Chains A and B, each alone.
Chain A
């Protein structure tokens, strides 16, 4: 129960639900786009050891490297991983929230 003094008093008493699909798209865009831009940024900046640390992602993302081709592969993997994370986040949140408000 919330009382008037509770800062949450004003908020709607409904519990928000997440749209897992939408969350998947958002995370996919952020993660895929983010990895793509991070890779491209390092390539444009150049330097002696380009993307030494970012390259480590190749352990998880097959075919990824800090190169122009790798940036496109990173875009794909990042988007895929983001989509899975977003979708799972929404799914777990909704399941738990649903159980708690039942």
Chain B
């Protein structure tokens, strides 16, 4: 009998899980608490105006995910130009920051102060790099930090930058591996490890014609059509388990009706804190406390429909101006022209990052729309008279919070979850990890494959090394398995090494002992043979010139067999030392060179820190 899988949540992770399971020949039931699918990647439709919750660029380094997107959406997947700028002090700054543009907008005096502050940071960096402020200031100078990083970061996370750990910033600028650094240096960051061109973050990205929700509605349709079931409006209330196995999920529909969903395997993308509380019988107190320690940042969007054909070319604008609360403005028409039903109009999404305990969270929609209009007027983006209509979308638990304790709390929760053998956690909130959409999808692909006997660590996705392992597996050849192809009998050929293998080989270290041994053997035997040949020739003045080596080799004589053996030993030792030193110097030189490449790559990464915030 076929295994039955119950998936909690119909966001990108949950639906990808169902889609992958179907490919693997397994049936699944997806439970979605909301009346729409897509999770935070949904598209909300208000009077034909579509908007995205947070802006989702479809961009992945994992070929498998790119294939999945194409497979699900087909021709409705647009290639869109990417543009985002920073709005500060009434001016637009290019993002990533460009020196000429920043200097022009800041003016000569401010630019000079920024320059001095940068120089100061370089000469006298903060010795203690404990918080985000110190971390950024050491790299960009305190003045630039105050202008471009402080306000926005604090708006997004609701915590003073001095209370955000420097580790968190360092994690955003990932510790580039040797191969990544070299690959970036050689090809630019837009090349994947298989050498394919990936649409870069700088230039363009993919986007569904009608927003990300279109992807997930299509995915839901495909899942349903293939005999599976995606049930909207059912909240996973209780997860009944016994003897280390989940037996069934008790779902509660919107009218309060309780339904049991039994299964052999379970995949959860619901917030891990709620998941732990849903277990019946409940986990130990220590686990419940740890789960309660996991926090989320909430988020709301005020959407304004504006009577103007073109607003600005950006997909979004970061609002660094401290006089307003909003963090970003989305321009949905720039994401896709089809997001707006009337080409003479535009729609803007004003994003507010909040806690659900904040006053503003409970404000009425009208009051929030009024706030949005006032703030837009204050920064002179639009006039009140241009606003035709508006609406508000609230999204709880949009961002998992990486506070000081989240890692230890998560570890406690995971340890307990490991005792339940037939449930896997996937997705952003399912793993309490700041996953992008592609990471979330990959966790679900892994979870689905685990059910059919493969062994993947779903928690390793978005933890660089293993994530890249998957990328390595997911070569274009792996992606092509989805397309019917003519049988080709390949010519037997040597396996072609990947660019990363070539980089690894090119930057491989020489073994000093091995090179020492090789050079030592050759020099020792070489001298021995040269001496021996001369001795065997029995000339009148045997080895007169070769004997000059006795200046360096103690006791060496080219005129005697004992000298030949002494030469063998001493030249062997000398050769060994020579070979060892050559290998050591080679490795040191290579190390310095790689270090330089890595520093350059990290500097490039740091330019995009705002994106990572």
Contact = CB atoms under 8 A, between A and B. Distances in A.
B48 interface: no
B508 A10 contact: no
Interface stretch (B21-29, B460-468, B589-597): B589-597
A7 B588 contact: yes
Contact of A92 (B178, B507, B517, B537): B517
Interface in B161-194: 178
Interface in B564-589: 587-588
Contact of B519 (A9, A12, A56, A89): A89
B509 A96 contact: no
A45 interface: no
Contacts of B526: 85
A59 B508 contact: no
Nearest to A86: B522
B509 A14 contact: yes
A35 to B, nearest CB: 15
Contacts of B592: 7, 10
A83 to B, nearest CB: 13
A59 B509 CA distance: 39
B435 interface: no
A17 B514 CA distance: 10
B509 A11 contact: yes
Listed residue (B511, B513, B522) with the most chain A CB atoms within 10 angstroms of its CB: B511
B591 A93 contact: no
Nearest to A14: B508
Nearest to B592: A7
A52 to B, nearest CB: 10
Interface in B480-535: 503-505, 507-511, 513-515, 517-519, 521-522, 526, 530, 533-534
B472 to A, nearest CB: 15
A92 B545 contact: no
Nearest to B599: A10
A59 B598 contact: no
Given A56-B545, A89-B519, A89-B522, A14 B511 contact: no
B514 A100 contact: yes
A13 B598 CA distance: 16
A9 B591 contact: yes
B75 to A, nearest CB: 43
Contact of B530 (A53, A60, A85, A89): A60
A97 B511 contact: yes
Given A15-B508, A16-B509, A53-B545, A92 B587 contact: no
Nearest to A91: B518
Contacts of B518: 88-90, 92-93, 96
A84 B589 CA distance: 28
A100 B510 CA distance: 12
Given A7-B588, A7-B591, A11-B590, A16 B505 contact: yes
Nearest to A60: B533
Contact of A14 (B504, B539, B588): B504
Contacts of A85: 522, 526
B520 to A, nearest CB: 9
Given A14-B507, A15-B510, A96-B513, 9 more contacts: A8-B588, A9-B591, A59-B539, A85-B526, A88-B518, A88-B521, A88-B522, A93-B517, A96-B518
15 contacts: A8-B588, A10-B590, A12-B504, A12-B505, A12-B509, A13-B509, A14-B505, A14-B508, A16-B510, A60-B533, A85-B526, A89-B522, A92-B517, A93-B514, A96-B518
Q: State the 4 A-B residue pairs at the shortest beta-carbon distance, nearest first.
A: A96-B514, A16-B508, A92-B518, A97-B514
